[in-house]
Amino acid sequence: MPVAGSRAQGSLDPHKRAKRCAVCRKGPSVCFCGDVRVLQTRSRLPILQHPTEIWRPSATAKIVELALAGSRLFVRGDAEDEAELEGLLEEPGSRPYLVFPDSQAPEPAQMRAAGAWAEGPPPTFLLLDGSWRQARRMRHRRPWLARLPVVALRPSEDSVYRIRRQAHSGNLSTVEAAALLMSQVEERPERFEHLLELLDLMVTRILRLRGLDREGQPIRAAGSE
Ligand SMILES: [Zn+2]
């Protein structure tokens, strides 16, 4: 059921929302705005975000939007956002793809190696933010999404993301998916390590807030032994 006007609203109460950074939507001790370097890309990377992700402390899509010049967040169920996204994907000359787990779909790296985007306009990759279950539902309910050709990422290692356990091995957080995708299709792939650095910063700060170190072990106060 579409939630009209849900843009940047989500379910966080206004008092708590006021304490969050207006740009990255994290609390002051997690805010990573000062650490972001903006990376230019040829391809575009819109992200359709599930509304429950907007204010979730561990959400990672905002990292992508802030650090990739060609990325932008659109909120699922926001009529204006969805119409704008649909228009962007259907622009004449645009080459849109949906990034989705499909064992039959080609990997972006294979397509690039085969020269898929060597000429003509650069590709646009749509990422679906949220769990894969939510992503499947998002796609199922939108004919304009179901029509898009699919590319699939096949990460070789399990997600390094330590805060939210992924339901299945091999699943990536949105920022990890973006980093892997950009490293497959853009020049100078090593640049996109920056996305993972920002993820690492964010995760480390959240863990510290919870009294845990980078490995998830309780931090002992100095001199407590
Ligand atoms: Zn911030």
Q: Rounded to the nearest whole angstrom, what is the distance from the C-alpha of residue 88 to the centroid of ligand 1? A: 27
Q: Rounded to the nearest whole angstrom, what is the distance from the C-alpha of residue 20 to the centroid of ligand 1? A: 8
Q: Rounded to the nearest whole angstrom, what is the distance from the C-alpha of residue 38 to the centroid of ligand 1? A: 14
Residue 9: what pLDDT?
Answer: 59
Q: How many CB atoms sit inside 10 A of residue 35's CB?
A: 15
Q: Rounded to the nearest whole angstrom, what is the distance from the C-alpha of residue 192 to the centroid of ligand 1? A: 20
Q: Rounded to the nearest whole angstrom, what is the distance from the C-alpha of residue 22 to the centroid of ligand 1? A: 7
Q: Rounded to the nearest whole angstrom, what is the distance from the C-alpha of residue 24 to the centroid of ligand 1? A: 4
Q: Rounded to the nearest whole angstrom, what is the distance from the C-alpha of residue 153 to the centroid of ligand 1? A: 29
Q: State the pTM of this model.
A: 0.87
CA dist., res. 77 & res. 142, Å (int): 11
- The DSSP H or E segment spanning 134 is helix 132-140
How far from the centroid of its chain's Cα atoms is residue 43's Cα? 15
Taking the chain (225 residues) in runs of 10, the rounded mean pLDDT of each run is: 47 82 94 97 95 88 97 95 94 92 92 93 93 85 92 73 46 88 94 94 91 83 54
Residue-range domain boundaries for the chain? 14-151+160-208
Q: Rounded to the nearest whole angstrom, what is the distance from the C-alpha of residue 8 to the centroid of ligand 1? A: 15
Residue 6: what pLDDT?
Answer: 43
Q: Rounded to the nearest whole angstrom, what is the distance from the C-alpha of residue 122 to the centroid of ligand 1? A: 30
Residue 223: what pLDDT?
Answer: 52
Q: Rounded to the nearest whole angstrom, what is the distance from the C-alpha of residue 92 to the centroid of ligand 1? A: 35
Q: Rounded to the nearest whole angstrom, what is the distance from the C-alpha of residue 216 to the centroid of ligand 1? A: 24
Residue 40: what pLDDT?
Answer: 97
Residue 44: what pLDDT?
Answer: 96
Per residue, the 3-state secondary structure of 163-208, as one string, reads CCCCCCCCCCCHHHHHHHHHHHHCCCHHHHHHHHHHHHHHHHHHHH
Who surrounds ion ligand 1 at CB < 5 A? 21, 23-24, 31, 33
